[in-house]
Structure 1
Amino acid sequence: MMKVFDAHCHLQDPRILSKTPQLIKAAQDTGVVNFAVNGVCEQDWGSVKQLSIAFPSVLPSFGLHPWYVADRSPNWFKKLKEYFDSTPSAAVGEIGLDKGSHGKKIDFSEQVEVLRQQLELAKELNKPASVHCVRAYGDLLELMKSMGPFPAGVILHSYLGSAEMVPEFSKLGAYFSFSGFIMSLKANKAKKMLRMVSSDRILLETDAPDALPKSNINSLFFVEGDTSVAEEIHGQRTTSSSTPDSSLANSSQVVTDALMLPKETLNHPANIHNVLEYVACMLEITKEELAELSYQNAVRLFSYEGSKLLQK
């Protein structure tokens, strides 16, 4: 069985937290070995820490996501540093910049300052940082240039930036992580960008419970109890079954792909295989080759001092 490493997800998300043990088990049964679980705000860092204690496969990350910058407490940074002091296995994330529909409601200069503080902390701790970026890649590149390079690595999570920026980010120590969101790009743009990424800088992720891949429904896993999924679909892929249901694939009663599912449909961490297949196709290499190189890249990146990967 191929080994796969989910380089960025949110198994602490309130929408799925109660189901996390089953989701981890189902994903592990398909070959997912590790889950880099990223906190996003002061309120969920504790849940991330608890998951990392309960599950050897969970690698914790703590960070303040740009969407939560306006809600941060006066002592947020002190609290963040205390989490790293008490959890040596943790990386930094999710942090970043956002000029999208949600992010533009939050003062951008504050986003930049909060990101700068957390990138400085990542450098000080010699840990990788997982970075969210929406419509702000130019700003992110300039900030990283002013601070870099980042020898411990910066993960550009769910990367959707231009092909032209890939070499610039790479020089600064960036890795490029791809989720189901890459399927929203035009195929020729996705292919051009992916081919600019060096094979030693590519990672795969789910961003679960978000970023459901736009794949045929019979190839997807669904989160048990997800009320956005129609009854005739629900249950077909909620278990650890690794083979598509042929009766579902042939049913004219069922929608044929995830484009027709409600946008709030939850993403299952086992769906990293759909991302793997799509990216391998774009790169014209086998799934096995991509699984191996992305797994080795993630292991190398997450093998910092104190990491769980070094404790095995």
Structure 2
Amino acid sequence: MAQAPARAASAVRLFDAHCHLQDPRIAAVAPALIRAAGASGVARFAVNGTSEKDWHLVKQMAEDHPAVVPCFGLHPWWVPERSPDWMNLLRRFFAETPEAAVGEVSFSAIQKNPNPLSGVKLLISCVRRQFICRDYLDLWILYAAKLVWTKVHMEKPSTSENRQTGPFPAGVLLHSYMGSAEMVSALANLGCYFSLSGFLTGMKSTKAKHMLKSIPLDRILLETDAPDALPRLDNVSVSPVHVHSSDADTEKRHMDSESQAANASNESLNHPENIHIVLEYVASLLEMTESELAELSYKNATKLFSYPGSKVQHEPEDI
């Protein structure tokens, strides 16, 4: 594992709003990564499960590390491999882990399908059931009405349809958001939070800045999406976790579309301490100080994740 550049104990607080530290590519070094990130100022990590095969790892990680917020979900990439008992198992995990949130769920797999609409009904059903397992009875509609359109480029839902699918006062996290600035207002009105990752560095800076400026400050979150979304900036030194050839077979099954271009035997992967690079980049585009962005994104994430039963406690504003 590459050594990260030394960082002094940070005065800022950061909340990695979306990551996968249970991923087999980095699971063995996850405790060390959590410690290093914690020393740099990362106070919380929302660790998202993706299938039945890793929910127990997420649960154990949250038990071992108080800073980890567990999230259980069935990512659509693994829907075809789900067992007949997947929903009952997910329900048990939520019952045993009241501090858990739902995640990761999405419709990203549809992009790979030559006939995208063929799998929509199945994915909507799976997403809906996951929210029901956590007693979020209506949130799934947002994914059906908005995220399907986002990923599949379906016709934009009408204003009346938008009103029928919100608002969602509990909030919804859109991770690694890279949608258009024009979408932000409608999504924000539905209760969405916009989580920004290293993938943003791959967007044209003028477009990224325009999009960022459209996001309400009280809806901005920061994430790493580790072990993916390694920031790519020419003038910034990024410290990766290097994957060795002995891990190649495991990696191939878990890589997402952005990392498939890399050779599995020497792929460089992301880790939570690199959230500082995301912080620096986003702050520069928003023309605000890193400390200001760190504090407001931390407060936003704390508010979003302070649902009933959560280990995260919302800090009321000083009067």
- Specify the code of the residue in structure 1 equivalent to 2:269: L
Q: Measure the CA separation in 2 of the matches of 1:130 and 1:43.
A: 26
Residue 114 (1) aligns with residue 126 (2): yes
| 1:56 alignment partner in structure 2 | 66
Native 8 Å contact 1:126 1:304 kept in 2: no
Counterpart of 1:274 in structure 2 is 277
1:72 corresponds to which letter in structure 2?
R
% same residue:
49
Runs of 4+ in 1 over 4 A off after TM superposition: 102-106, 120-123, 125-134, 137-146, 260-263
Distance 1:13 1:129 in 2: 28
Shift of 1:76: 1.3
Counterparts of residues 163-202 of structure 1 (less than 5 Å): 163-202=181-220
Q: Pick from 244, 263, 283: which aligns with 1:227?
A: 244
Distance 1:15 1:144, change over 3 A: farther
Distance, in Å, in 2 between the alignment partners of 1:129 and 1:11 is: 28
Assess if the C-alpha contact under 8 Å between 2:90 and 2:133 holds in 1: no
Count of residue pairs the alignment pairs up: 280
Deviation at residue 75 of structure 1 after TM alignment: 2.0
TM-score, length basis structure 2: 0.79
Match of 1:305 in 2: 308
Q: 1:40 to 1:175 in 2, by over 3 A?
A: same
After the TM superposition, which of the residue ranges 127-136 and 93-102 deviates more from structure 2? 127-136
Superposed CA offset, 1:38-92 (max 9, x none):
0010110000000000000100000111111111112211211111110001011
Pairwise mapping of residues 35-114 of structure 1 onto structure 2 (< 5 A)? Answer: 35-98=45-108, 99-101=110-112, 107-114=119-126
SS at match of 2:308: coil
**Under a length normalisation based on structure 1, what TM-score does the superposition of the two structures give?**
0.80
**In structure 2, how many angstroms separate the alpha carbons of the residues matched to 1:157 and 1:123?**
21
- Alignment match, 1:157: 175
Ranges in structure 2 where 5+ consecutive residues have no aligned partner: 1-10, 246-260
Q: Secondary structure at the match of 2:173?
A: strand
Residues 112 and 177 of structure 1, relative CA distance in 2, 3 Å threshold? same
Which residue of 1 is the match for residue 15 of structure 2?
5
Match of 1:254 in 2: none
Distance 1:123 1:18, change over 3 A: same
Residue identity in the other structure for 1:227? H
SS at match of 1:59: strand
